[in-house]
Amino acid sequence: MAWVIHLKTALGRAPAYLCCDNAAEYVGNLCERLAEVGTVLAPISPYHPQQNGKAEHANWTFGDMACTMLHDSKIPKIYWSYAYLTAAYIHNRIPNSRVKTSPLEQLYGIKPSPNELYPFGSRAIVHVPKDIRTDKIEERGVECLMLGYPKAGSGWLFYVPSQKRIVHTSDAVFPEYQALTVKEARPASAWGEPTEEIAAAELKAIESLPVEQEHRLPKTIKVALSGTDSQNWKAAADYEIEKFASLGVWELVNPHKGSKALGAQWVFTIKRKANGSIDKFRACYVAKGFHQVMGTDCNKTYAPTASLNTLRLLLSIAQSKNFPTATFDISSAYLYSPIEEDVYVQPPVEIMPQWKGKIMRLKKAMYGTQQAARCWWKFFSGKMRNIGFTASELEPSLYFCRRGLEFVVIWLHVDDGFAMGSSQKVLDDLHQAISVQMEVKWLDSVDKIVGINISHQDNAIFLDQHLLVNQILCDYLRACFPKRSTLPEDHIETNPGDPVNSTEYRSILGLLMYLCSGT
């Protein structure tokens, strides 16, 4: 009834009809009271809610909005009514796709302003008036959560967790949304900085966050040798060249007819331990194998790798049966593998300027060539056969060796391996046998493998990829917040006109897929 009187006062006329169901609050003397202002009560047929479809649909819409806001904000559920009121408040200010204006503008002719809108449950610092402060040194602000908007007047409703009460005030600051102001340019206030300066200052502060800024991976050898970690990258590049020479990966030849050399580039990575600290700087000289021609300088390229499901199964068996385990990493694995085709590569003249004008003929597989992974798999499989191992028919990169009651299982993912044996002695024998064939980093403790951290607690195994998660967040999603709803806040456009960087998109997609499959 109060709403009908409000409409008559604000618009100069009362609504002609009030459509409702047969709830008890509508069937008393409401009909007579409405008649006094010229409104007819029009109840629907009992048990036919579809006759009042607009109201039912609005209830459904507000319910979905309120539930989402409650779950996302973590505000106690006893304040569900405020979530419904906020849902209605926001809905009245959202433009309608049919008439292109909001309900508020249609009813009152007032265009809503986005300045006052903040997410339900937003953290805010609310000013404590001087009159209610107990002493001079008491805090002048209290942390609150935005609970909605008042029925009339300006400001917001706030829930004060420390006092478990609700206050109404307009003296509040929303720290997380300071840069989200009106987009229209206007002169700076005499009482504060311009919005543009605030946004620029916050952006600068975000960019200066200490998230491994001092160890950014260089994109080129020129950047690597001129940055803050130039000594580490130079040492890593020198080690790579020495490794090529010691393993006889290539030979220096003069360019000749038919010797079309592939380009190459340096790829830099930082290997980390399970606790996130730096293990070593790694520089790989990688051929641009995408220029190879199938049937000319490459033939078969398929190389199997063991699955992560199998790794989890082996870890579970080792834990339940108390079998000893170990992890190993073959240093520069591909460089051990003989290559059958004639492949030529440009030399790293940035490190070895005396090689300028020459080309390198590969004798071993090199990172980046299309057949490198297959060459390495064939090489490692051959070495395993020589020491008595048999490859699984279902997973060719899973190897078994049994001698009486003793056994060893090897799981290999490219150059990272996991070994499980019936005793520590058989693992020590395996370590010695592999070390004779190639340089291997062997660890008797299983703390990390293929980027997955492994911990043991209370006869259970815990796997996590928190370092990968942090890497994704720092590299691509620094300005993000957890949300229950995946709907975007901005208007969805079919073609925004800003093409996505395909390389960055593939990188993000690959990282997310590996994150899903790993744990």
Taking the C-alpha atoms of residue 202 and residue 179, their distance in angstroms, rounded to an integer, is 8
Least confident of 190-194, 267-271, 393-397: 190-194
Three-class SS of residue 508?
helix
DSSP one-letter string for 116-134: G---TT-EEEEE--GGG-S
> What percent of the chain shows pLDDT beyond 70?
87
Torsion, Cα of 17, 82, 106, 153 (10° steps): 110
pLDDT digits (tens, 9 = 90+) for 30-58: 777 777 777 888 888 888 888 888 888 88
The DSSP secondary-structure symbol of 174 reads -
Compute the average pLDDT of residues 270-292. Answer: 87
pLDDT digits (tens, 9 = 90+) for 131-180: 777 777 778 888 999 999 998 888 899 998 888 889 999 889 888 776 43
pLDDT for the residue numbered 288: 93
The DSSP secondary-structure symbol of 291 reads G
pLDDT at 274 over 90: no
pLDDT for the residue numbered 488: 63
Compute the average pLDDT of residues 342-350. Answer: 93
Does 64 reside within a domain?
Answer: no
Query: Phi-psi region for residue 29, left (φ > 0), alpha (ψ -120 to 50) or beta?
Result: alpha
**Cα–Cα distances in Å, from 160 out to 141, 143, 147, 163?**
11, 7, 10, 5
The more confidently predicted of residues 313 and 12 is 313
pLDDT for the residue numbered 132: 78
Does 380 reside within a domain?
Answer: yes
pLDDT digits (tens, 9 = 90+) for 495-511: 555 566 778 888 888 98
pLDDT for the residue numbered 271: 85
Residue 393 domain boundaries: 214-464
Supply 57's token pair: 């649909």
Q: How many domains does the chain divide into?
A: 1
pLDDT for the residue numbered 398: 96
Task: Please choose, from the candidates 236, 227, 226, the residue with its C-alpha nearest in 3D space to the C-alpha of residue 268.
Answer: 236
Taking the C-alpha atoms of residue 508 and residue 510, their distance in angstroms, rounded to an integer, is 5
pLDDT at 189 over 90: no
pLDDT band at 199 (very low <50, low <70, confident <90, very high): very low
pLDDT for the residue numbered 8: 75
Compute the average pLDDT of residues 183-199. Answer: 43
Does 50 reside within a domain?
Answer: no
Does 46 reside within a domain?
Answer: no
The more confidently predicted of residues 480 and 51 is 51
Does 470 reside within a domain?
Answer: no
pLDDT for the residue numbered 94: 86
Supply 307's token pair: 């699955």
pLDDT digits (tens, 9 = 90+) for 428-443: 999 999 999 999 999 9
The more confidently predicted of residues 37 and 243 is 243
Residue that the structure tokens 């504060």 belong to: 192
The more confidently predicted of residues 179 and 453 is 453
Does 315 reside within a domain?
Answer: yes
Least confident of 168-172, 257-261, 443-447: 257-261
Does 372 reside within a domain?
Answer: yes
pLDDT digits (tens, 9 = 90+) for 83-134: 999 999 998 888 877 777 888 888 878 888 887 889 999 989 998 888 777 7
Handedness of CA 271, 272, 278, 279 (dihedral sign): negative
Q: What's the whole-number average pLDDT of the chain?
A: 84
Compute the average pLDDT of residues 57-67. Answer: 87
Least confident of 308-317, 401-410, 459-468: 459-468
Does 326 reside within a domain?
Answer: yes
